[in-house]
Amino acid sequence: MWRCGVSSLKPNCYFHYKRNYLSLSKSNLTKHPITKYSNYSSLTMTTITESDVGILCFISSLPGFRGILKQRYSDFIVNEVDTEGNVVHLTSLDAPPEAFQEGETKISDQLNKNYASEIENFRSLACEIDVDRLEAFINQITSGREEDISPIVLSPDSDKSHRTAMHNFFKENLRFLVTDTVDGPDSSSKCIRVRLNSGNKNKGRNSNKRKRGDRPYDSRGSSHWPAHLGNFLRFHLFKENKDTQEALGLIGKMLGIQPRSFGFAGTKDKRSVSTQRVTVFKQYASRLAALNDRLIGIKVGDFCYVKDDLLLGQLLGNRFTIVLRGVVADSEDTIQASAESLGRHGFINYFGLQRFGSGSIPTHHIGATLLRGEWKAAASTILDPREGERNIISKAREYYKQTGDIDGTLKQLPRHLVAERAMLQCLKKSPGNYLQALKAIPRTLRMMYVHSYQSYLWNHAASVRVQKYGSSEVVLGDLVYSKGDDAEKTEVVPHEHEDNSLEDAYDCGQLDEISGKDLPLEKNNLVKVMTASDISTGNYTIEDVVLPMPGSRIIYPMNEVADVYHDMAKKDGISLTESVHNIKEFSITSVTGSYRRVFQKPIDFQWDLLLYTDGNLALSETDIDKIAKTRPVNPVKEENPTNGTEGEEPFNHLEQLESFEDEKKFSTDDNEVEVSREAEPPQVHSPPDLNSQEPQKALKLAFTLPASCYATMAIRELLKTSTSVAFHKTLNQ
């Protein structure tokens, strides 16, 4: 039975500030000394800890307890909440009947005819060689032979208008074929490539395979799309232990379309079970539904056709169902008090560790280098060898550093390293142009570095706000969202992430735990500085308090918290009021800035304490589990199931599939564990035997958070321990 409750609390911090926050900042710098600002690229450190990025305080002074976060990825379930407030679930795997208007012809029906007249007409546009190629290609398709049907490439053609006429010929006469343009044998020519329409269900079992090294097909969608259907197919994507980009990349490969054909509102945590909305351009539901038997760790369903695609940020938030296993506490009263406290008072709305990457080079360090205009240093930081990476990546980085051989490095470097590959390809064309190479990184990804530095300053400011002024009352000089008549006296300022462009949304990769952007629902909210008269009215509470993400259109608090931003930035060689270069996207004075609530309460919060004996059994019901109750369904297949765990691997098992770099670095360095323990209350509880058949406790939580809020920060407030991957790995050992 789900329970809720309350408790009264006081703020608590890892470290107490003796005079001001600078003493803490200095202590952090001594762990990873930086003698010169330009030395970020040579910084070597283990995986970052929470204290490194300003995650220092708690709201509650209640004791924490032991609990393992994400022992199994099904212990962390995320369901997107759409803009209408609906929790997104996968409820059906079936495609709706495909409706064709009168006069429309299915592509499959077009193969049952003779194309002698069309081929004859093609002679007026093409040379004899291309006519023969096309005739042989059509005969191969219509014969139904069980063989690989590869695309054909027509003769080089430097006349764009003639190529356009060729494309139109195929659209009008041979609808079961699609064309695109590829590079010719020299720089001045292009070639038309002809292939079987990806929407056609050809009999050949290998018809959708591409040759190794072949360029991906374009993403124009199915040709001659029915006018009565919306241009986009919306579906619900269910995935296990995969990030959003990885899952859509697999689906795109199977459909023969590019990643930019997909739209989604936010990225979801890789190590989880999640369900979210996705749109794809001009694809039939039947094609996607047919993939369910082949997809591994992924299911798609709940199809419908819509007019518009999804953009990053078009969501209200996410619904979480989280199980903490191996719970050990002084008493159940301790657990109950902590859970009730979280429900009533919430948590400090820090940016979680995912915001800063999990490798040896934090993203905010790269952001600081960009803000200083040190292009070569920033490029080196991204490309150079670093600690904790897989051997194949380390070898590729070291090879480039030693030889400078870009082609050889690209052959070795895994494709999921999007930023590195984009930079190297640019440096190949423009050697030494490091700024251009940085701009070659997809925009959403390269802006992540600057946003990470803004988040770094925000976290430290939030810690100072809690330490100096507590977490229960609004104080003089605080910034708050205005209410009532006060709204008429203040200026409109941007809400959190409003300044973040949604351009290149399809290129985003290394984003946050749950969502890359925030839907600006409160973008018309006004921010004001609290005065004594404002406080006396009692109209404002601690929930109204916000802190700025630095930028050109924000104001700072009128109290000691404002000094945190400027003094910490100054230590990093950065001015928040003047820019040392004119590259706007890497300038703190050119980005708009935004605001973020300092305290966040979980919405619709529920909790329950469970007993279990088998650590391999799921303690939460996923969407696929619910579907299986109503109809037989093939289970979501996973790579390399281990130890009878139905596809789920132990926490310390290395991921089999390639993913983005910042999700692949699991540090086991002793320093990481030691620092985490130094910053946490002492752990007095002995870990349970995970293989024991003795009953163990698990705490099950369910709550909703707005977009861009981190569920791990709520768990941190509850347990009073680090949320780092390295720390929770030690709990499994």
pLDDT, mean of residues 503-526:
40
Residue 67: closest CA among 653, 675, 692, 683:
683
pLDDT, mean of residues 628-641:
63
Write the pLDDT tens digit of every residue in 83-141.
999 999 999 999 988 755 444 455 555 555 678 888 889 999 999 999 999 998 888 88
**Span between the terminal Cα atoms of the chain, in Å:** 31
One-letter amino acid identity for 333? Answer: D
pLDDT for position 138: 87
Q: How far apart are CA 576 and CA 572, in angstroms?
A: 11
Q: How confident is the model at residue 731 (pLDDT cuts 50, 70, 90)?
A: low
CA 430, 432, 436, 438: dihedral to nearest 10 degrees? 130
- Which of 134-138, 612-616, 710-714 is predicted most confidently? 710-714
pLDDT, mean of residues 34-53:
55
Q: How confident is the model at residue 18 (pLDDT cuts 50, 70, 90)?
A: very low
pLDDT for position 101: 46
Write the pLDDT tens digit of every residue in 57-71.
999 999 999 999 988
Q: How confident is the model at residue 487 (pLDDT cuts 50, 70, 90)?
A: low
Strands 594-597 and 545-549: antiparallel
Structure tokens at 141: 């398709």
pTM for the complete prediction? Answer: 0.72
Residue 565: closest CA among 200, 14, 22:
22
Q: How far apart are CA 711 and CA 705, in angstroms?
A: 7
pLDDT for position 404: 93
Strands 262-264 and 232-240: unpaired
- Dihedral angle sign, alpha carbons of residues 428, 429, 433, 436: negative
447 three-class SS = helix
Higher confidence at residue 228 or residue 33? 228
pLDDT for position 644: 34
- Pick the range with the lowest mean pLDDT from 128-142, 210-224, 535-549: 210-224
pLDDT above 90 for 38:
no
Residue 270: closest CA among 291, 249, 252:
249
In the DSSP assignment, the letter for residue 113 is: S
pLDDT for position 258: 84
Write the pLDDT tens digit of every residue in 397-406.
999 999 999 9
Q: How far apart are CA 157 and CA 165, in angstroms?
A: 12
Q: How far apart are CA 94 and CA 73, in angstroms?
A: 26
Query: Strand pairing partners for 236?
Result: 277, 301
Residue 272: closest CA among 245, 239, 235:
239
Query: Strand pairing partners for 255?
Result: none
Q: How far apart are CA 440 and CA 444, in angstroms?
A: 11
* 8 A C-beta contact, residue 478 and residue 468: no
Q: How far apart are CA 699 and CA 717, in angstroms?
A: 14
pLDDT for position 186: 79
Q: How far apart are CA 14 and CA 57, in angstroms?
A: 6
pLDDT, mean of residues 409-433:
92
pLDDT for position 143: 72
pLDDT for position 682: 37
Strands 232-240 and 57-58: unpaired
- Dihedral angle sign, alpha carbons of residues 665, 75, 709, 311: positive
pLDDT above 90 for 198:
no
pLDDT for position 451: 94
Structure tokens at 335: 């657990």
pLDDT for position 670: 31
* 8 A C-beta contact, residue 517 and residue 502: yes
Write the pLDDT tens digit of every residue in 220-249.
566 668 888 899 999 999 999 988 888 998
Percent of the chain residues past pLDDT 70, beyond the cut: 71
One-letter amino acid identity for 212? Answer: R
- Compute how many other C-beta atoms are within 10 angstroms of the C-beta atom of residue 145: 12
pLDDT above 90 for 466:
yes
Q: How far apart are CA 510 and CA 701, in angstroms?
A: 27
Q: How confident is the model at residue 438 (pLDDT cuts 50, 70, 90)?
A: very high
Q: How far apart are CA 461 and CA 480, in angstroms?
A: 15
Give how far Cα 166 sits from Cα of 101, 175, 273, 400, 564, Å: 27, 13, 47, 43, 63
- Compute how many other C-beta atoms are within 10 angstroms of the C-beta atom of residue 652: 13
Q: How far apart are CA 368 and CA 569, in angstroms?
A: 9
In the DSSP assignment, the letter for residue 3 is: B
One-letter amino acid identity for 374? Answer: E
* 8 A C-beta contact, residue 567 and residue 23: no
pLDDT for position 485: 65
Write the pLDDT tens digit of every residue in 636-653.
655 544 333 333 333 333
Residue 445: closest CA among 660, 665, 725:
660
375 three-class SS = helix
Q: How confident is the model at residue 722 (pLDDT cuts 50, 70, 90)?
A: confident
Concatenating the DSSP letter of every residue in 570-612 gives: HHTT--SS--SS--GGG-TTTS--EEEESEEPPEEEEEEEEEE
Q: How far apart are CA 89 and CA 279, in angstroms?
A: 15
pLDDT for position 675: 29
Write the pLDDT tens digit of every residue in 648-698.
333 333 233 333 333 333 232 333 222 232 333 333 344 555 555 789 999
269 as an active site residue: the answer is yes
- Pick the range with the lowest mean pLDDT from 152-156, 464-468, 523-527: 523-527
pLDDT, mean of residues 528-536:
94
pLDDT, mean of residues 521-545:
84
pLDDT for position 245: 85
Q: How far apart are CA 96 and CA 234, in angstroms?
A: 12
pLDDT for position 256: 87
Q: Which of 52, 75, 269, 534 is catalytic?
A: 269
pLDDT for position 490: 53
pLDDT for position 112: 56
pLDDT for position 297: 92
Residue 375: closest CA among 592, 588, 583, 589:
583
Exposed e or buried b for every residue in 333-372, given b needs 16+ CB within 10 A? eebbbbbbbbbbbbbbbbbbbbbbbbbbbbbbbbbbbbbb
pLDDT for position 661: 34
pLDDT, mean of residues 411-436:
92
Beta strands in 214-293 (DSSP E): 232-240, 262-264, 273-281
pLDDT for position 625: 93
Exposed e or buried b for every residue in 669-681, given b needs 16+ CB within 10 A? eeebbebbeebbe
Percent of the chain residues past pLDDT 90, beyond the cut: 51
489 Cβ neighbours under 8 A, 6+ residues apart = 482, 528
Q: How confident is the model at residue 633 (pLDDT cuts 50, 70, 90)?
A: low
pLDDT for position 35: 28
Higher confidence at residue 390 or residue 323? 323
* 8 A C-beta contact, residue 275 and residue 238: yes
680 Cβ neighbours under 8 A, 6+ residues apart = 14, 64, 720, 721, 722
Q: How far apart are CA 241 and CA 105, in angstroms?
A: 40
Give how far Cα 151 sits from Cα of 112, 178, 231, 282, 519, Å: 20, 10, 26, 21, 42
User: Mean pLDDT across the chain, nearest whole number?
Assistant: 78
Write the pLDDT tens digit of every residue in 361-372.
899 999 999 999
Q: How far apart are CA 111 and CA 598, in angstroms?
A: 62
One-letter amino acid identity for 428? Answer: K
Write the pLDDT tens digit of every residue in 492-511.
444 444 333 333 332 333 33
Q: How far apart are CA 557 and CA 529, in angstroms?
A: 7
* 8 A C-beta contact, residue 396 and residue 410: no
Q: How far apart are CA 707 and CA 682, in angstroms?
A: 33
| Residue 286 burial class via C-beta count within 10 angstroms: exposed 0-12, middle 13-18, buried 19 and up | middle
